[in-house]
Amino acid sequence: MAIWNLGSINADMIYRVPHLPGPGETLAATSYARFLGGKGANMSVAAARAAAHVRHIGAVGPDGGWAVERLMEYGVDTRHIRSVEVATGHAIVAVEPGGENQIVIYPGANRAIPEALIQAALSEAGAGDTLLIQNETNAQVLAARLGRDLGLRVAYAAAPFDAGAVRAVLPFLDFLILNAVEAGQLEAATGLAPGVLPVRDVIVTLGARGARHFETVSGETREYPAIPVTPVDTTGAGDTLTGYVLAGLDRGLPMAQAIAQAMRAAAIMVTRHGTADVIPDLKDVQAGPPV
Residue 8 in contact with residue 160, Cβ under 8 Å? no
Binding residues for ATP are 179, 205-210, 238-239
- Exposed, middle or buried: residue 148 (CB in 10 Å: 0-12, 13-18, 19+)? middle
Give CA–CA dist 5/2, Å, rounded: 10
Q: Which is nearer to ligand RIB, 136 or 182 (CB)?
A: 136
Per-residue binder mask for Na ion (CB under 5 A), 206-245, x = binder: ---------------------------x-x----------
- The partner residues of 34 in beta bridges, in order of sequence, read 13
Among the listed residues 236, 228, 226, 234, the one whose alpha carbon sits nearest the alpha carbon of residue 279 = 236
Rounded to an integer, what distance in angstroms lies between the CA atom of residue 274 and that of residue 133?
A: 22
Q: Using CB under 6 A, which of 6, 15, 17, 37 touches ligand RIB? A: 37
Q: Cβ of residue 104: shortest distance to Na ion, in angstroms? A: 17
Nearer to ligand RIB by Cβ, of 38 and 243: the residue is 38
Helix (H) or strand (E) holding 32: strand 31-37
**Shorter beta-carbon distance to Na ion: residue 125 or 266:** 266
Per CB under 6 A, the list member of 5, 10, 135, 261 interacting with ligand RIB is 10
Told to check if 38 binds ligand RIB by CB under 6 A, we report yes
d(CA 291, CA 281) in angstroms, rounded, equals 18
Report the partner that residue 103 touches, choosing among ligand RIB, Na ion, none (CB closer than 5 to 8 A by kind). Answer: ligand RIB
H or E segment and range at residue 43: helix 39-49
- Catalytic member of 77, 129, 201, 239: 239
Which of Na ion, ligand RIB, none does 233 bind, CB closer than 5 to 8 A by kind?
A: Na ion
Contacts of 25 (CB under 8 A, 6+ apart): none
Which of residues 88 and 275 has its CB atom nearest to ligand RIB in the complex? 275
Catalytic residue positions, numbered:
239
User: Which stretches of the chain bind ligand RIB, using CB under 6 A?
Assistant: 8, 10, 12, 37-39, 42, 91, 103, 105, 136, 235-236, 239, 275
